[in-house]
Structure 1
Amino acid sequence: MSTAPILAPADATGAIPRHVAIIMDGNGRWARQRHLPRLAGHKAGVEAVRRVTRAARAMGIEALTLYAFSSENWRRPAEEVGDLMGLLRLFIRSDLAELTRENVRLRVIGDYRAFSADLITLIDDAIARTAGNDGPLLAIALNYGAQAELAAAARRLAARLPADQIDEAAIEAELDTAGLPPLDLVVRTSGEQRLSNFLLWQAAYAELLFVDTLWPDFDGDALAEAVAAFGRRQRRYGGL
């Protein structure tokens, strides 16, 4: 696959977002449209992850956060959950060398300790092997739910701080995303227009973009279009 830089379209007028998060939606519909099993859609979705992470690096995006497995996804059929776990194992084993070579830092947000022991070990090893890298950051949301994240942060703070010392900065420091650049842009594929319990605190002033493209069809050009749309927006943060 070509690694040539992918640039935002020429009519983009703003800066590249530092931190982009993507709700990767539409694998099942992609498969259904092609009369294929859902697993085929998830496999195609993994290929989209590879394309988009490479494009994000080429564009100079500092952090890319991908919603891979939500805390609600456990409600899916056991066979599908097993398939998703298998694809995650495959992705880590096949792509870790590239991430290391490209100086990418891997981070996981969410409670991945709920996964099987062998998968936890794989994830821990991947995080450790890329921890010394100082290039772009790839954050994968696994068994993640924003409401649970906020509740856990509140419990930890309440256990050690008086109420009058708990402010926005204290909460942010307890979130799974502590240390990541502020979230600039959230993209959701497949035409759905909701956040689905994803980065609710972090998205307070992020730009939201909902696109009809199904996730397996999303690529570097689609990401460049999203970045260009971000660049055309005026971010006022409550001001004029």
Structure 2
Amino acid sequence: MRTDLNADLAESFGRWELGDDATLLTVVTSANVACGFHAGDPGAIRRACERAATLGVAIGAQVGYRDLAGFGRRFIDVAPAELTDDVLYQIGALAGFARVAGSEVRYVKPHGALYNAIVHHSEQAAAVVDAVVRYDSGLVALGLPGSEWLRMAENAGLRVCREAFADRAYTPEATLVSRRELGSVLHDPEYIAQRCVRMVRGEPIEAVDGSRIRVEADSICVHGDTPDAAAVAQAVRNRLIDEGALLVPFTGDT
């Protein structure tokens, strides 16, 4: 049983601090580093890259809409060509910090509203794929199983990785419950850890309505901005290792 554990990092901005990046980077195997559009200032991004490089954690570009005020969680009907340029800009910015830290960007994961939009929004999905292919066709695309983003990325020749969420509730259709809904975010570390083991094993988990669904998972995400994220990530890591899982970056980094 082989899997990856990822977290969203470098989401602090100026005096506004969010998440425990230092601790999370000792737990996860892949780091989704904010690129400055939805969150993250240059200092936060640099520190995350440096610590990830030191610890051997794979670095990924978490690209999003240009929406600092909304933390990238509001859909923006941006023109495809503009979205491609925005994604290129973000990957390039992060690549600079990763290079200075002695590492490199290995994958791309959209953030927030963009992540959810390109599950079905074909034009925006194509725009993000176009940016990744133009920048580096060796980058891996990380996203929701069955999404337009992963389908188009694979058709474009990119390697894809299917992501599941440790701390988010799922709909019966295996999509994420909106954060506006009660119960959309899970908080019990032990329950979350047990659910992650079932996902990695390919066993069904409970959707928000009580139905049973299967969620394909090559990588499991713990959101760095949720309360006690580090404790949740550690509980997930411990349980997976106890169950015999090998935790390694999905990019193949060692």
TM-score by length of 1: 0.42
Which structure has the larger Rg?
Answer: 1
Q: Which has the higher contact order (CA 8 A, sep 6+)?
A: 1
Structure whose residues are more often helix by fraction: 1
TM-score by length of 2: 0.40
